[in-house]
Structure 1
């Protein structure tokens, strides 16, 4: 069974976009260490999961980089485009994008089926509503939260609509020179299953969600 990881960019106050979807607050001039980290976890993915609202920008961005031979990120973009993608949508029935299929209906059931069939890692990128659905389903095995040094005050949050408490363990945190801090969490239940596999028994962090 594949492991499901959620990777999101967020503000210090937990927003993944401004109230009107703005993303101009995100740091884009990543340092090499951050690029290497993201590049290191991406190849493990056998499937990419996306919410409908995020898909256009996600695919068009990586497609443009893939088609630009002079871009230093071309090889990474090629991997992103080659990885099979599943887009969750309530309205679409056919995919206009390459290497991409549409999934409808119950998110938890569909994602459980994908995890059961994929021996590699399954990587989810959002957006907000889709990420909330995944967190509430209890199917996420690992979080990669990239915290940008900004407070938005208001915006789209993936934490305000949670319907349960999820206790997390801090696997690692990394401060990058560009200003982004990585918080890499594993849910308590998944953490217990990984003991004995080289993950230290320390730093229990209960947070994100409410009863």
Structure 2
């Protein structure tokens, strides 16, 4: 079965909105390697409409410019790109298509197809839905040492918690923490159990 990996730049207070306004001062080779690890192995990319339009406006030009990011831009252009949207959209980037049908059902079927990893970058609304459906195998959070104090957060208020399992983590020289989570189970226990760990 294919894996789905999702990557997000996130502030300490959970804000994921407009990362281009605050995360670039923290971008170094360590972060570049982490992004490459998560997205560079994917042969399919899944987007929400807004993220797709942002990527489609930027990455083809970067590929044509031939700069240091041209190789990543070429990879993004070559892979299959699927856009989950209920709106009409101009598919201006090569190898792009619109996801047909219900998101969870369609992504469940996509995971059963032959192929490599399916990568998401941003696309918060899609990530939320797929996390709730336990369809994301790895959630890569690049946690920046800044609290934005306003803006959309990754996790909305809901009636039920969303447990995750920490798979691995690393701290970068900039203070960014790269955490990778998988699906988890809700743990049980109370103070009686916890107090046995007190010194």
Q: TM class by shorter-chain length?
A: 0.7 to 0.9
Distance 1:96 1:163 in 2: 39
Aligned residue for 2:149, secondary structure, equals coil
Tell me if the contact between 1:94 and 1:101 (Cα under 8 Å) persists in the aligned partners.
no
Task: Confirm or deny that 1:55 pairs with 2:52.
Answer: yes
Tell me if the contact between 1:50 and 1:88 (Cα under 8 Å) persists in the aligned partners.
yes
**For residue 36 of structure 2, what is the aligned residue in structure 1?**
39
Task: Confirm or deny that 1:165 pairs with 2:161.
Answer: yes
Distance 1:81 1:161 in 2: 36
**For residue 6 of structure 2, what is the aligned residue in structure 1?**
6
Deviation of 1:3 after TM superposition, in Å, equals 0.6
Distance 1:175 1:165 in 2: 26
Equivalences, count: 185
Deviates more, 1:93-102 or 1:131-140: 93-102
Tell me if the contact between 2:132 and 2:162 (Cα under 8 Å) persists in the aligned partners.
no
Deviations 1:55-95 (A, max 9, x none): 111222221211112x1121121111111110111012662
Gaps of at least 5 residues in structure 1 are 190-211
Aligned residue for 1:151, secondary structure, equals coil
Distance 1:93 1:34 in 2: 31
Distance 1:63 1:178 in 2: 29
Tell me if the contact between 1:15 and 1:152 (Cα under 8 Å) persists in the aligned partners.
yes
**For residue 83 of structure 2, what is the aligned residue in structure 1?**
87
**For residue 191 of structure 2, what is the aligned residue in structure 1?**
none
Distance 2:167 2:151 in 1: 27
Give the alignment of 1:188-203 within 5 angstroms. Answer: 188=184
Tell me if the contact between 2:59 and 2:73 (Cα under 8 Å) persists in the aligned partners.
yes
Deviations 1:162-205 (A, max 9, x none): 5643322212111122332111111137xxxxxxxxxxxxxxxx
**For residue 145 of structure 2, what is the aligned residue in structure 1?**
149
Q: 1:44 to 1:134 in 2, by over 3 A?
A: same
Aligned residue for 1:16, secondary structure, equals coil
TM-score (norm 2): 0.83
**For residue 136 of structure 1, what is the aligned residue in structure 2?**
132
Task: Confirm or deny that 1:126 pairs with 2:122.
Answer: yes
Q: 1:67 to 1:139 in 2, by over 3 A?
A: same
TM-score (norm 1): 0.79
Stretches of 4+ aligned residues off by more than 4 angstroms: none
Deviation of 1:136 after TM superposition, in Å, equals 1.6
